[in-house]
Structures are given as C-alpha cells and as structure tokens.
Chains A and B, each alone.
Chain A
C-alpha cells in the first residue's frame, strides 16, 4: 500500500501566538480511508485543510505535507490550486454551497471534467453517467438542478464530482452530517466502495466514532490541535490507549445495547496547550508527570501511536457496567394522545396518532426527518391546532384550540426546542428569561422564585454567572442547558424534548442526557423525547414509538423494540444506524484481566 500523501510535524497558527494545530502527522495510503475524529474545536478541519494547502488566514509554523515529493504547504495559492480538483478531491460539509445552484448537474460535471481531466462535452457525458452509477445515483440526475435532488443524493453527486478527475487524494469534511441514517448509510457504502475500487487515498473528517468504525480503515483522534491516538480503527476503538479516546467512547450511546452515556467534564481548550498534556485538565488519570511537558506521540504495537505519558500503565477498558438500570414505569398516564391528526395547510403531517406517556417515564418518539414527529410535539405543546383527535393531560382533555389552554395546563407541558441558538431570545439575558418563566409558573414570592432558579441552575450544572449573560456569549452546550433550565424551573409534569441533542458534540450530548436523566429522576418529571438518533433513544427511553410518514408504525418497551423489532421500517432504521460492533475477545487480552485505571 503506497503512501500518497505524507503529512508530518504540521504546526499551524492564526498568525499569532495561539497554535491551533501542532505536530500533526499522518499518512494517506492508496485504497485506504483514514478517519480524523475529534470534538468541535479540536482542529481537525484546520489540520486537514492545511494538509492540502488551504492556508488562508493561517500561518504554517513547521511541518510539511508531501504529495509525490511536492510540499503542498510550501506552494503559493496559484501553484497549489493546480493540485486541487485534479489530484486532490474535496467534499465539504455544507453540500448546498458546493454545487452551483443555477447549473444543472450535467454542466457541473462537464466543467470539472474539462478543467481537470481535459475531456470535451462528448467524452464528459458518458463519464459523468458512469461516475453517477458508481455512487448509485440514476443518470436522470444529470438533467436536474441541485435543489431538485435530496440531501443524500446531493452528497453522493458531490462525491462523484470530486472523484471525476480521478484524484489521488480525497478529503471529506463531515460529509454525512445532517443526513438521515438511511442516506448516511448509502453515502458511506458508496464511499467505501469508491475508495477501494479506485485506489483513492481518503481522509474522512468526522465527530462520529460509530460511523468511522464502519467506513474507516485507520483512525486518528485529535484533541486540542494534536493527534492523541492513531492506529487501525478496530484496535483503537476496542482497546483505546489514550484516556480521551476512552472518554469519547464512554460518551457514545449505542443502538446495540442500553447503556448510560458519560460526559467529559470540562471543555476542550480549542487550541494547542503549551507545557503540559492538553487533556490533563479533563483526564481522570492525570498525574504530576502529565503536567510537566507536552507528551510525545509514541509508537506502540500494530502500527499504533499514542500521546500519553501513562500509556504503558493504563488499561482503559469500558466502565464495568454501563448498562442502564431499567425503571419500572408507573401505570398512570400523564399524557394521552388519542387519534390525533395534524396538518399544515393541506399537508397532513400526522394522521391518527395515539400515544401514551406514563408518569415519570421517558417515552421516545423516533423517526426520520419529515416523519411528523416534531409536528406532533408542537401540537402537544400547544403551538398547533390539531385537525382532529384529543390530547389529555393527566386524564383531563385539553381544549382543542391551544389558545384556550389554562395557565395550569401550559405550566405542566413544557417544550425544549432542537436548536438553542434560535429558541433563546438573543436580546434577553439568561436571568431575564428564567425570572420571566418563574413569575408565570412558580408560586410564592420573589425569594422563592430566585431559590427555584438557583436550584435549577445547579441541577443543569450552570454557574450562576450565566444569569447576566446573553445567549450569544454561551457555548452551544450551555445554551441548551439554559433551555432545559427554562423548562424544568417551572416543575412541569411533562417536558417535550424535540431533538435536543442533535448538532451537539458527543461529550456535550452525553452530559445533556445525564442532566436530563438526573432531573427526571429527582423531580419525577415525565419526558417525551423526540429524536432521530436510535443510540440516544436506547440510552434514555423506557418506551419507544416509531413514526413514519405521519403514522406510528411500532411501539413498545425500548428493549423489546430494539431487541426484536416487528416492523420492517424499524428494522431498516436499526440496520442503517452506525454502531461500534462489540469486540471479538482476542487471545492476547482476556476481558477479565483488565480494569479501568489499574496500574500494571
């Protein structure tokens, strides 16, 4: 397997003292796919782009990126541009921006084939059709404009466009983020095949370890601008040697078993840390020696390398029992939805839906985008008037017209939105919001309301200092905690959570889920958890309803539905969702011989 691109010692800063990428090295080999994984702010995109010579606004301090002996980092933009497209393909995250909206797909293929492969129109069209066939897109797509294609198709068209000039190197920046599991699986399958058959050396940037476990051959884990661990993907994920890799895995929910997820305390520094191990402040295994110098990346067995001074002594196995204790649900229903039909104008979004949320339970509503699950959530929260059917809260039917709900009824159903950047008023401080909510829903005087706020903030692990901050001054995870606090400070009976962890890093997601589980346990609040992420659902829900095209197709206890799905659609969803398969026990390391943190 020949090395196509060799990156070594790459160190990059924003023309200032803060290094965002330090000493990054990796090799891309023909026909293999390297996954570059890390939380947002770990420097993974910056490192990957710098490696292919995209250094706008950046300064290379040291290191090189050699493609056939040419250092891409040393070339001027004009020179390196000749490599882009022709020898280096790139598939960006925001696919909408990558395809020209007013040109047909055919025109875009013709252009790239003319510029990068020297083909004229007549030669380009069959080549384009062939490329589309390779990514499982019908060639009728050639006649279409980008907006006429689905997200999954667009992503595959972008992949085909990048592959068109037969590049040696392919860089993919989170190419499946925002796609449904089924589309994601198709893109991943097509990508895997293209890399193998065409012998491309691919770099796949992702925050999703489960997805990488299915597409990548090798993986490099980045943290604070450095590669902290690298090696073959199965070895690294089944037997991580760096505490950060272990922490990422602990934060990852799995659709294969009901496990609790664990957040990583603290926040990533968002730059390279000088003078000590970058992960030291969040590491459960930190010792004095970690604080003395930046650890070196040390090669260990099987082509692996790890950047941890304690890698010899630490044995980082999974937490002994992450299995979630199942709760015996209360038989009483807090919410009953009976034969509910909702529509936007003439489009029916949900039809004849019935579901029940038991007192104190977490009930999940699962489905792909467009399945009608969010519409249902909005109807329950009183934002949408249902066409027919009934919603009962604690046995009492709610008025059909949401505006006629009493304050008491509103009090006991709270809604948390998917995106806290849009669900929090940017011109109101956190304190202003929480005080407004408590004035409406918390009985008692000012002192009682302030006490409720302080208590809730502590429960969602926010510093009281956030009260004076505007949402724009908080991180995404903190904003979602504020939204959770605003819902729970009212002490409602039911909280409707609409995709509240999508778009968050796994560690943040795990922390939010832990907070939610804790609040629910402590306050006995029931939760209707709307999500498309089956792993998350399995880690938190007691009951599951699966929704498709506005109808419930399957429901039951979480373990029953995940363990033995009866409906074909549920089964296809479960098959499509990426998951790290359990390790096959190897002879070298019997599982009972290892314990977390025990020094050998």
Chain B
C-alpha cells in the first residue's frame, strides 16, 4: 500500500519540471528586479551622496563623475533623489494593500460564507464600487482631505477593497459549495470550525496570489498619483513625481526620467513574477475563479 502512495507522490512531482524551465527564468528575473528596486528604496537614503532637496550644482547637468545621473531643473542631485525617492513608492502601496486585504478578505469571506441575500447585496454593491473610476475619485478625495500618507493609504485601500472582496467571495463560495464542507456540516461542525479547517487553508494560496497581483497594481496606482503630484509634497523626492518633474529633461538627460520609471516598473514586475512563483509552489490554479 505504501508503495502505491509513493508512486503517486512521485508521479505528481514529475509534472513539475516541464514548466519549471520557463518558470525559473521568470522567478530569477522577478527576484532580481524586486531585489534591485526594494534595495534601492530601503538602503538608498544611507548611500545618497547629497541632500536630495538641497541644490548642489548647476541645473540640468548631464551625467558626470560629480553627479552620476546629472542634476534636475533646480540643480538638485538626481542620484540622491532617486535613492531617497523609493520609500513612498514601497511603503504606501504595501500599507494600502495590507489594509485593503484585511478589510476586503473579511468582507469577502463573510459574504461567501453566507450566500443568499447578504451575498447578493454585497456583490451588487461591489459591482457599483468597482465601476467608479479610481483615479478620478482619488483626486477628489485627496483634494478634500489633503494628501498625507494616511489619506493616500486610506484612499488607495478604499479602491482596492471591493476588488479583493470580489475575488475572496468567489473563492470562498467555491469552497463552501464543496462536498467536504457539506461533510463537515453533516458532522455538525460549527461555522468557526468550517472557517478554520476548510475555508482558510483552501483559500490562503489564492489570497497570496491575489495579494501579489494587487500589490503590483497598487504600486502602479500610487506611482501614478505621485506623478500627478498627489500624495507627496515637493520638494520631497518620489519616483513617480520625478518622472513628471524630469519629463522636460528627456531630450538632454533621458536618464533623469527613465531611471525612476524603470525602478517603478522593476518593482511592479518583480512583485508580479515572484507572486506567480509563490502561487505555483502553493499549487494554486491561477486560472481558477
């Protein structure tokens, strides 16, 4: 009997290598991109040669040994601004995604578990909220409440909560409809037990995937807000804002806008590729609803 089990276990593992060649390149690229962008954001402030907001040279200098990336319109050192400017692009999205997930997953599980009227009402409300244009609404909220980090996190989370609810509700409902939950119910398990034993272990993989996908969305969203000048206060540097500030330098010193843009892209792509790999390891079918 043991031998069969072993054979089956082995054959299941065998299915892996076929995909892993492409997947391992993906995850290496993703990990490198993530490492680079997060590293720059976290360690950058320690390495910056100049004060990012102080004027340290003539404006609009090209790259030189003194200013590796050159200077901006006002003569601030661009390298120092890049090294300082990642913090808000990392911290705000991470906090916002965590908040969105805390709230969204709770509501999603709560609706998915219940079904019936509660489910219908929540799902339709979610449909309405998702149809609102996030960027426009964010601008409205930020202009009303100011643009502190807390408001930025709150506003961003607010827009991603319904999206998380939708996914978590679907996954939970699928688990709730399964025979093993029916078996637990027939046994007389309480809702708390069903949640703990059946629902959470079976949706957690999906949640991780969703977290990764949302985080990369949120990074882009926050970077966009920054680009529009929302959420950061000049002269404080931020990659998103720097792309906007340095658009005019694109002809003379393209690195000024491209380096922060590339770092944002590296962050978003890195998060996405790494979370795909994590999903694969957790054997989550990403295509499943």
Contact = CB atoms under 8 A, between A and B. Distances in A.
B4 A405 contact: no
Nearest to A490: B187
Contact of B2 (A423, A425, A461, A463): A463
B12 interface: yes
Contacts, number: 72
Given A428-B197, A463-B2, A475-B8, A422 B188 contact: no
Contact of A473 (B5, B178, B188, B201): B5
Contact of A440 (B9, B178, B188): B188
Contacts of B186: 381-383, 410, 413-415
A478 B4 contact: yes
B132 interface: no
B142 to A, nearest CB: 42
Interface stretch (A19-27, A387-395, A464-472, A592-600): A464-472
A460 B188 CA distance: 24
B179 interface: yes
B-side interface size class: 20 to 34
A465 B8 contact: no
Contacts of B54: none
Interface of B is mostly: helix
A423 B186 CA distance: 12
28 contacts: A270-B7, A378-B182, A381-B186, A410-B188, A417-B179, A422-B178, A422-B179, A422-B180, A423-B183, A425-B197, A425-B201, A425-B202, A426-B202, A427-B201, A427-B202, A437-B187, A440-B187, A440-B188, A441-B187, A462-B1, A463-B5, A465-B5, A466-B1, A473-B5, A474-B8, A475-B4, A478-B1, A478-B5
B179 A419 contact: yes
Contacts of A378: 182
A515 to B, nearest CB: 13
Given A462-B1, A463-B1, A472-B12, A423 B179 contact: yes
B118 interface: no
Nearest to B4: A267
Nearest to B180: A425
A417 B1 CA distance: 23
A415 B181 CA distance: 12
B8 A383 contact: no
A475 B1 CA distance: 10
Q: Which residue of A424, A427, A436, A472 has the most chain B CB atoms within 10 A of its CB atom?
A: A427
B280 interface: no
A444 interface: no
Contacts of A478: 1, 4-5
A466 B178 CA distance: 23
Contacts of B183: 415, 417, 423, 486
Nearest to A498: B179
Nearest to A461: B1
B187 A465 contact: no
Nearest to A268: B4
A423 B179 CA distance: 4
A17 interface: no
**Max chain A C-beta neighbours (<10 A), residue from B7, B8, B9:** B8
A292 to B, nearest CB: 23
A407 interface: yes
Nearest to B188: A410
B185 interface: yes
B5 A469 contact: yes
A77 B8 CA distance: 31
Contacts of A417: 179, 182-183
Interface in A372-407: 378, 381-383, 405, 407
Nearest to A462: B1
B198 interface: yes
A437 B186 CA distance: 11
A224 to B, nearest CB: 13
Interface in B176-211: 178-180, 182-183, 185-189, 197-198, 201-202
Shortest beta-carbon contacts, A-B, top 7 = A427-B201, A423-B179, A463-B1, A422-B179, A425-B180, A410-B188, A417-B179
Given A462-B1, A463-B1, A478-B5, A383 B185 contact: yes
Contacts of B198: 425
Nearest to B7: A270
Interface string A415-439: 1010100111111100000001100
Given A419-B179, A427-B201, A410 B187 contact: yes
Given A422-B179, A425-B198, A427-B202, A473 B8 contact: yes
B258 to A, nearest CB: 45
Contacts of A436: 197
A383 B198 CA distance: 17
Nearest to B1: A463
A453 B7 CA distance: 25
Nearest to A417: B179
A267 B4 CA distance: 7
Given A267-B4, A417-B182, A419-B179, A407 B188 contact: yes
Interface string A353-381: 00000000000000000000000001001
Contacts of B202: 425-427
A415 B8 CA distance: 27
Nearest to B283: A472
A486 B182 CA distance: 14
Contacts of B4: 267, 475, 478
A423 to B, nearest CB: 4
A422 B178 CA distance: 7
Given A410-B186, A419-B179, A437-B187, A473 B9 contact: yes
Interface in B1-55: 1-2, 4-5, 7-9, 12
A427 B5 CA distance: 17
A91 to B, nearest CB: 28
A473 B12 contact: yes
B182 A383 contact: yes
Contacts of A462: 1
Nearest to A381: B186
A469 B2 CA distance: 11
Given A413-B186, A425-B201, 18 more contacts: A383-B185, A383-B186, A410-B186, A417-B179, A417-B182, A424-B180, A425-B197, A427-B201, A428-B201, A436-B197, A437-B187, A462-B1, A463-B1, A463-B2, A465-B2, A473-B8, A474-B5, A475-B8
A423 B185 CA distance: 12
Contacts of A474: 5, 8
Contacts of A427: 201-202
Contacts of A414: 186
A413 B185 CA distance: 12
B147 to A, nearest CB: 43
Interface string A159-175: 00000000000000000
Nearest to B205: A427
A315 B179 CA distance: 46
B5 A466 contact: yes
A486 B188 CA distance: 14
